[in-house]
Amino acid sequence: MLANYGYKDASGDFFITIDTDKCDGCGNCVPACPVGVFEVLDEDPNDPMRDEPVAVVSGEKKKKLKYECNPCKPDSDRPALPCVAACGEGAISHSW
């Protein structure tokens, strides 16, 4: 499942996509993110029949991604995003 967390508003598209078929719930993304965007849940709220834990974008952060993710996204000299780099399974991607 491609879980697109985030939003589109008049200023642009701000989605973090977690591919839950790739996510193994390891939790490496949780400490990698400086603003705590991710959490790992034992039960996937979007897939109740799943048995393994899964990473999700937590609660109110979903509505502020454009702002929360800013520190990792300088306009110039952009390094690899820490969350994307931390995920060994390549399950995380950003739309902007």
Nearer to another protein, 4 or 58 (CB): 4
Nearer to another protein, 22 or 73 (CB): 73
H helix intervals, 1-96: 29-32, 65-68, 82-86
Nearer to another protein, 31 or 45 (CB): 45
Q: Which residues pair with 39 in a beta bridge?
A: 56
Nearer to another protein, 67 or 85 (CB): 67
Residues found near another protein in the complex (CB under 8 A)? 1-4, 6-11, 13, 15, 43, 45-49, 60, 62-64, 67-68, 70-71, 73-76
Angle at 59 between CA 55 and CA 61, to 5 degrees: 95
